[in-house]
Structure 1
Amino acid sequence: MAVKRGGLLVRIALAVHGWPPEQVGGTELSTRALARALVAHGHEVLVIAGTLKFSHPPSVRREREQDPASGKSFSVVKIERSDPYFDHWQKHRAPHTSRVAVELMEEHKIEVLHVHHWVRLSTDLVRRAARAGIPSLVSLHDHYATCLLGWRVHPTEEAVCKRKFEPLACSLCAAAVPPRTPWLPPEEQAMRAATRMQAIAAELDAARCILVPSMAHAESLLFLGLPQHHLIVVPPLAPVGLTPRDPLPVPVGKEPLLVGAWGLSDDAKGVSLLKAAARRLKGRVHLVLAGRAAGESEPWIETHGAYAPEDLAEHPVTRVHVAAVASLALESHGLVASEGQALGLPLVLPLMDALAERFSDGEGVLFYEQGDEDDLTAVLDRLARERGLLEILGRRVHPEGDLFDQTVEHLQALYGRTLRDGAPDVPSEEWFEERMAQETMDAWDEALKAAPRSSLGLPDEEPKR
């Protein structure tokens, strides 16, 4: 460990569920921005990432990634699992994965672990690292700690869920998302939901610092069932390189209002809501969508599918009059809103606590009731008809101050504090516990193979990997 002016140079591991370009959600992008910033400041960084790729037997894929600004590089190791449906909430603990993660940390002589997500990895990372003498921080980017599905969007009603975590009710809700597990009675599924919550609580107990992206997210987590902890607000790092540009001319005559929406990774991001509003406006609005879940183009709706984040500034989805967010989830901060603001675009946002904490209605932003198709349609229609309002909002867009460097400095101080505190004393597991956890996973996989696909809620033919 070396000393630099203003603090320590630390060997840091960042654990996250996915990595660009395969996964480009807010958590993955902000974690990559953090890794780049840390190596630029002289720290050594190891990224331990989950992946959607399947490997039999399980394997690791090692890469080097370079920070384009400083030219410095860091290691990215992706752990490829061999078990099916490793995203499923009942597979929250994967003993082999956490064992490999700690072996990688020991190989790289890691001094501090920063967990950004457990999914596709394992809900014993913090405790296993502590037993190896490595202290940890945890960032709670979403509602994984209080929702089996992570987003707090009811899967059949497509509405925000604000019920406190309750094992039986939550496991029944999560069963709507395939694959279902009909070989487990409801009581057993509830028990597994409670066990998952206990595992996350134990991880948080063993963490030296717990970080959240906003005060609203902290309050929401605690209200919805997170065990009481001191939560530190640290906003996520938005990718750098986005700057305000000259706005498009205000549409005249019958020219449509151009509305862009990106980051559409899944249905919870409100794709159907945006499309429904555009259809109702019958050409007064031209909607431009980008993301894996954008779907097919149709009259008045232009879709672009997945995109590279570094191309966003020149992408057609941002060559618009206004940016819209339609997420149905309880967002913790709002990366897309930050990107739109950085580009100087007026914003149409759902009224939720985390966004209301950062933005004011009328100050470059118009709010609508979250998930309300009528209200979203009315706001877009108003912008299409009141061309002067669009100009006023455009003049009132104020990109956030340069919080990037402040956030990096704050995180470096927290890493130093975590290193000084050292790893907590976490009792060793009984000799049989890891074996039992692995046997539970193996039994799950065998039961899945034996069950008719229709009973799992899956299509008759298995998709090719």
Structure 2
Amino acid sequence: MKVWHVVHGFAPELTGGTERTVEALARAMAADGHAVTVVCGSIEPASSTRVDEFDVDGLRVLRLHREDLFYESWYKTWSPLVGATFDELLAREAPDVVHVHHWIRLTSDLARRAREAGAVVAVTGHDFFSTFASPVRRFGDDTPTLPETDDFLGATERANAFADHRDDFADEFAAAHLRYAPCASHAAGLQSTASAELGPIRTSAPPLLQVPARLPEPPKRGKRLVTWGSLYPEKGLDLVLDAMFSVGGGWTLDVFGAAHDPAYRDRLEARAKDMPVVLHGAFSPEDLATIEADYAVLPSMCHESYGLTLDEAQCLGLPVIAADLPSYREHAAPDSTAFFAPCDPGDLAMLLLDEARLEQLTRPEPPAICTPIDAARALLS
């Protein structure tokens, strides 16, 4: 079959969690004999809407560039120019299946255009952009509220734009033949915060592009924490630093990941300078093999759509200290995971002081990982 995966960005320009999931699926489908193309957006602006075709280690990629301003803003998601270009590509290539993973930097009517062109259409809600107009939904935010916008938009215009955005994406989900979410709690979150019925949402756990090898077990468990992933305020690193300061020493922390916001990066570096914290910066999956730690700490302050870091920690054999999020509960090993109240550095500090509780945590066995080929075949079955 001729399969398209449509996503807001792709390697080597962008390599976040959704991009890595798409790459894993695309490569597995290509290895299984399908003609696979990734259609993606870009953070690089252009003087006119254009499509660049290139190869990423054997994978065909079509990258669409937008010419308008502020196109990463939620209220500029819809683009008639990108829509027209997308229609031209659909007519020229006639894909059998179009799987839409994200709309930012592209346009908000991708699924509807693909269905009208005759393709079988799937959408996956990887985050809460469709209902909150933001990829991030902080824990405790149970009702969508008007997100921040630029000052040139008046209050009425902002409210109308937000209502239109939510209705637009309800229509987009409803237009798909198949709808997916990475886990059951995320599917329920999408349904409960949408402006209209989205239709049945199936769950499909994201595959790991690379399964990390098991770390050697330390002879004696100590007080070394490690965390990894993209760094931004909602990921909760400040919360861990607050908890470590509260307990008065004894714990160390290694952080693998880049903070792309310069102001936030500077703030983290200033805080970590006088603490037993090492900020390693950007990392590759291979770097996980170099970890020397006793516990993985997952402090996210937002609803995770799945939590691949939890699967990676369990593959590595690290006991986990995690925020008590619904998505983590779905696939955490109970005997190897200690939960603390989300967004509560005091509760994390109390857990760090509870040596008896932490010593009871067993080393997790590698979980039943969803492999790329299994996920790919399940999606196409």
Q: Name the TM-score, length of structure 2 as normaliser.
A: 0.90
Alignment RMSD, CA only? 2.1
Q: Which amino acid aligns with 1:269?
A: K
- Tell me what 2:182 maps to: 213
Q: What's the CA shift string for 1:240-276, capped at 9, x where partnerless?
A: 331322123435xxxx621111113422111211222
Q: What SS is found at the alignment partner of 2:302?
A: coil
**In 1: Cα distance, 2:212 partner to 2:195 partner:** 35
Please, which of 126, 137, 150 is the counterpart of residue 181 of structure 1?
A: 150
Does the residue aligned with 2:210 lie in a helix, a strand or coil?
coil
Secondary structure at the counterpart of residue 63 of structure 1: strand
CA-CA distance at 1:360 after TM superposition: 4.7
Distance 1:192 1:393, change over 3 A: same
Does residue 66 of structure 2 align to residue 76 of structure 1?
no
Provide the C-alpha distance between the structure 1 equivalents of 2:287 and 2:14, rounded to a whole number of angstroms: 15
Query: 1:151-166 maps to which residues of 2 (within 5 A)?
Result: 151-153=136-138, 160-163=140-143, 165=144
Q: Secondary structure at the match of 2:99?
A: strand
Cα distance, 1:206 vs structure 2: 1.3
Q: How many residues align?
A: 369
Alignment of 1:186-205 (within 5 A): 186-205=155-174
Cα separation, 2, equivalents of 1:109 and 1:319: 50
The equivalent residue for 1:370 is 342
**3-state secondary structure, aligned to 1:141:** coil
C-alpha distance in structure 1 between counterparts of 2:308 and 2:66, whole Å: 29
Which residue among 270, 281, 290 is the counterpart of 1:305?
A: 281
Q: Residues 131 and 169 of structure 2 are in contact (CA less than 8 Å); yes or no, is this contact kept in structure 1?
A: no
In 2: Cα distance, 1:380 partner to 1:59 partner: 52
| Counterparts of residues 422-461 of structure 1 (less than 5 Å) | none
2:204 is the counterpart of 1:234: yes
Q: 1:21: Cα distance to partner? A: 4.0
Match status 1:94 vs 2:62: no
Structure 2: tracts of 5 or more residues without a match: 260-264
Give the C-alpha shift of residue 103 in structure 1. Answer: 2.7
Q: Which residue of 2 aligns with 1:411?
A: 379
The SS at the match of 2:37 is: strand
In 2, the alpha carbon distance for the partners of 1:312 and 1:162 equals: 36
**Which protein has the larger Cα radius of gyration, Structure 1 or Structure 2?**
1
One of 28, 36, 39 as aligned partner of 1:45: 36
The change in CA–CA distance for 1:244 and 1:187 in structure 2 (over 3 A counts) is same
Structure 1 CA distance for aligned equivalents of residues 3 and 278 of structure 2: 42
Tell me how far apart the structure 2 counterparts of residues 203 and 152 of structure 1 sit (CA, whole Å).
20
Where do residues 311-350 of structure 1 align in structure 2 (5 Å cutoff)? 311-315=286-290, 318-350=291-323
Structure 2 SS opposite 1:15: strand
Instruction: State the Cα deviation string for residues 144-180 of structure 1 (Å, max 9, x = none).
Output: 1210222123xxxxx54111x3xxxx22xx12xxxx4
Deviations 1:278-304 (A, max 9, x none): 233343111111222263242211112
> Is 1:243 aligned with 2:243?
no
Residue identity over aligned pairs, in percent, reads 27
Alpha-carbon contact 1:124-1:203 (below 8 Å) kept: yes
Q: Tell me, yes or no, if the aligned pair for 1:16 and 1:117 is still in contact at 8 Å.
A: yes
Contact 1:114 1:136 in 2 (8 A): yes
Q: Is the 8 A contact 2:50 2:66 kept in 1?
A: yes
Equivalent residues of 1:257, 1:284 under 8 A apart: yes
Helix, strand or coil: the match of 1:199? Answer: helix
Q: Equivalent residue for 1:120?
A: 105
Q: CA separation of 1:227/1:360 partners in 2, compared to 1, >3 Å: closer, same or farther?
A: farther
* Maintained 8 Å contact 1:284/1:381: no
